[in-house]
Amino acid sequence: MKRRSLRGFGRARGGATAVEFALVIGPFLLLMFGVIEFGRLMWTRQALQQAAMAGARCAGVLNSSCASSGAFSSANTVTYVQGLSSGWGITLTTSNITATNSTTCAGVSGFSQVAISYTFQTPVAVLIGLPSAGYPLTVSACFPNQS
């Protein structure tokens, strides 16, 4: 009698779908969250790059948002970049942003430059292999001074 019930158990297919689902769902979720978080990381990097480019351009042409009394203002430029970034949902502090208007870029002098450093945080860092302290992003952009 015992032998017959073991044979029947080996042939039963009632829970096969549940077992297959249990084996597949883990790697599928890992892949899905990995793709989503990688996309967020790349989107954040691109948003920071756009903010740096706009900030460098603003400082280079002495736009009123980045100037004070017609002269370059690092504080105004940082505030401008913070505003752009917050529009994309990224919060930057003044320590994250460096703005200069008389620097050398690619060996040529006379450029305005904005550099941003940011730590990307993800709630699923351990699952997708990113450091739990966050992934550091650094971007910079230069624009020739127009004055």
Write the pLDDT tens digit of every residue in 69-96.
989 999 999 999 999 999 999 999 999 9
Question: For residue 123, what pLDDT is reported?
Answer: 81
How high is the pLDDT of residue 61? 94
59, 65, 68, 69: CA torsion to nearest 10: 100
The whole-number pLDDT of residue 124 equals 78
pLDDT of residue 9: 58
In the chain, how long is the greatest CA-to-CA distance?
97
Across-strand partners of 119?
136
| Residues of the chain below pLDDT 70 | 1-13, 127-130, 147
Is the Cα dihedral 20, 26, 27, 31 positive or negative? positive
What is the distance of C-alpha 62 from the center of its chain? Answer: 28
Q: Provide the β-strand partners of residue 109.
A: 104
Q: Kindly report the CA angle at 68 between 64 and 69, in degrees rounded to 5?
A: 95
- Using DSSP, state whether 42 is helix, strand or coil: helix
Q: What is the pLDDT of residue 3?
A: 58
For the entire predicted model, the pTM comes to 0.80
Q: Residue 19: what pLDDT? A: 85
d(CA 114, CA 133): 25
User: What per-residue confidence (pLDDT) applies to 31?
Assistant: 87
Q: Is the Cβ–Cβ distance between 135 and 41 less than 8 Å?
A: yes
